[in-house]
Each structure stands twice: as C-alpha cells, then as structure tokens.
Amino acid sequence: MLDVNGLRKTYTGDGRTVEAIRDLTFTVADGDLTCLVGPSGCGKTTLLKCISGLLPPSAGTVTFAGTPVTAPPPGMAVVFQEYGRSLFPWLRVAGNVELPLRQKGLPRDRRRELVDTSLAAVGLADAHSAYPWQLSGGMQQRVAIARALAYEPRVLLMDEPFAAVDAQTRADLEDLIRDLWQRLGVTVLFVTHDIDEAVYLGQRVLILSASPTVIREDLPIDLPDARDQLHTRALPRFTELRTHVYEQIQAAKKRITA
C-alpha cells in the first residue's frame, strides 16, 4: 500500500542546512497498523509530511497504491496532534466533518450519511450541532478522527494524535483506533514518541534512529490481536517489548549503533 524508498530530506535556508532524514526504506502492507517511534526531533513529522505529499523529499520516492506521491493524494487522510488548530471554530462539528467531502464533490445525501456514520463510529453521534470549542480536548480529537474517516481513506496517517490529551482519554482513544482499524480495515501509520503506546497499538513498530534518521529496527509485535488496556499491558511479553524498544531509543539517543 505504501512504499518508501531511499527517502532523504534536507532542509536548507537562511544559510543553514539540516539533514533531517538520511535514508529511509520501508513498506506498509494493505490493512497493517504500523507504529513509528523515535527520539525527539528525529524527523517523524518530516517523514509523515513527505509521505502525505505535503513536503517534497530531497531524494527517494514515496509510492501509494502503485502511484508516486507528488502532492496530497486522494485516499490518504492525516490526523495531527493539534486538534485545536485543525478544526474550524466557526463551523459546527458536522460542518467540520463534512468540509473535505464537499471538496471531494460528493452529493449532499452521501455527505450526510458519511458524517453520521463517522461521528457515530467515534462515539459522537449527539455532537453534530456543537461547536468544537464547546467540546473537551479528547472530543475535539475524536471529531478530527471522524473527519479523516468520513473521507474514506485507504491510509490513515496519524502524527502524535494523542499527545495533547490527558492519560485516561488517551487510553480510550488508543482503543478507539484499534477498534476502527479492525472494523474498517483501513491501513494505519501511527507516529508517536510514546513507547508504551507504540507497543500497545502496533502490529509492528519501526524504531527510528536519531536525526539524520534511518530505520534502526523493524520489530513485529507478537501480542494477541484482542488487546485491552488492563490485561495487555500486564502481560510479561508487553514488558519485554517495551523494555526492548526503550533500550533501542536510549541507544539511538547516544548514537550507539544497533
């Protein structure tokens, strides 16, 4: 579904050159839930922007369902960390979710149906007519997720989407993502700096090195598919995996080679 090949990104300007991504190659299969985790500043956001066609890479290619990405492709949706800035405060919840569907040119009845089902899917069936600023942070992030789902993406890219919500809401939203992924069969690439979150959510965790970034390890997560916050996190295997990822990230920060 996604093929990232020899990706490099160097920022230049104001007499400064920052090599953010040195060389990244990986694929994400159709229907996978892959987490990307790495030290702070290692280029996670840069990578997602390149994958989603928002930023041109300096070298290498991104291919989405067989087509090279040169601009934001239809079929891909992104959820960012800053829900507060991604929703329009003058539009009601339903209007926010509907906006990309208008841009897609869908007829009114279909738009309404998609808004209803995606808001119901994130547990906000009653929030159609509220304004975003009348909702809690966690609810606003649910609206952002509903908007991405209503677009019916084949790939959902998520950039630290739960970093700004409290711990309990975060746990609920993590379960929501696994539930939606299992029910809808959407391919998910989830970026986080939170090691426990990456291990709890992913079928696979890609561990990135410090900037300039390469892939340090491609780790399969061999936990049972049915996960829940209490029992999965109490499994000895969960502890082993999180300890392993933690050690890898610490080593990456100290630039010890794998």
The verdict on 52 binding ligand ATP (CB under 6 A) reads: no
Q: Concatenated DSSP letters for 24-83?
A: EEEEE-TT-EEEEE-STTSSHHHHHHHHTTSS--SEEEEEETTEE-SSPPTTEEEE-S-H
Q: What part of residues 13-32 is at the interface with ligand ATP (CB under 6 A)?
A: 18, 20
The verdict on 96 binding ligand ATP (CB under 6 A) reads: no
Looking at the Cβ atoms of 223 and 251, the one nearer to ligand ATP is: 251
What separation, in Å, do the N-terminal and C-terminal C-alpha atoms of the chain show?
Answer: 28
Q: Figure out which of the listed residues 2, 28, 42, 50 binds ligand ATP, where binding follows CB under 6 A.
A: 42
Half-sphere exposure of 62 (CA within 13 A, CB side): 25
In the numeric block, which tokens belong to residue 124? 């906000």
Cβ 86 vs Cβ 80: under 8 Å = yes
In the shown chain, the binding pattern of residues 186 to 225 toward ligand ATP, with x for contact by CB under 6 A and - for none, equals: -------x-----------------x--------------
Token pair 């007519």 is found at 129
The verdict on 40 binding ligand ATP (CB under 6 A) reads: yes
Among the listed ranges 36-44, 100-108, 134-142, 227-235, the one in contact with ligand ATP (CB under 6 A) is 36-44
Cβ 7 vs Cβ 60: under 8 Å = yes
Half-sphere exposure of 189 (CA within 13 A, CB side): 27
Looking at the Cβ atoms of 44 and 142, the one nearer to ligand ATP is: 44
Looking at the Cβ atoms of 20 and 206, the one nearer to ligand ATP is: 20
Minimum Å distance from CB 73 to ligand ATP? 20
Looking at the Cβ atoms of 149 and 198, the one nearer to ligand ATP is: 198
Chain residues that interact with ligand ATP, rule: CB under 6 A? 11, 18, 20, 40-46, 193, 211
